[in-house]
Amino acid sequence: MTAPAQDLPKVKGIAHYVVFQKPPEGVETVEYDTFQFPQLGLITKEPPLVLDGIRSARMNMAAIKASNVQERTRQSYGQPAITIVLNDENTAKLREFSQQYKGQQVLIAVDGIPVSAPMMLSPIEEGIVTISGGNRTPEQMKEVLDMILEYQELPSAQPAGE
């Protein structure tokens, strides 16, 4: 079943929606066509993966070159990007998701705000991911980084003297 999308639901965390060009059998989808992601296609109505536990995240302007993710329509080199290190639980979730949807495009949203739409070229094993900002400014990516950092796990306090 396919319905037109309004806005993405405000799912807390880093949500991953699978993108399809034709409606898959047995999967509820919505059409997704926005200014930022024109004619993206159909996305799953609910995100099959939501990451909500990270060890660290940082923004960089360095060239992005990853073997497992590729931007579909634009170069990512020199664009603002966020590198995220996931906790063990979320690393396992992402590994399973990326194995299941290898070769598929995904729409990544943070707290309901769409950020990137990469292709999952191969499984992500290590739990370190980079989200490029496409045509976003460094200031806009800093806002995304601040949202992501809300999911950072704080280290346990160590008793004094240890």
Q: What is the pLDDT of residues 34-77, one digit of tens each?
A: 888 888 899 999 999 999 989 999 988 754 444 344 443 344 45
Query: Does residue 12 or residue 92 have the better pLDDT?
Result: 92
Q: What does the pLDDT read at residue 133?
A: 73
Contact 151, 143 (CB under 8 A): no
Query: Does residue 101 or residue 37 have the better pLDDT?
Result: 101
pTM score: 0.80
Q: What does the pLDDT read at residue 71?
A: 42
Give strand pairing partners of 69.
Answer: 120
DSSP structure string for 62-97? SPP--SSEEESSS--TTS-EEEEEE-HHHHHHHHHH
Place of tokens 């796990």: 153
Q: What does the pLDDT read at residue 96?
A: 97
pLDDT tens for each residue of 122-141: 999 999 998 887 778 888 88
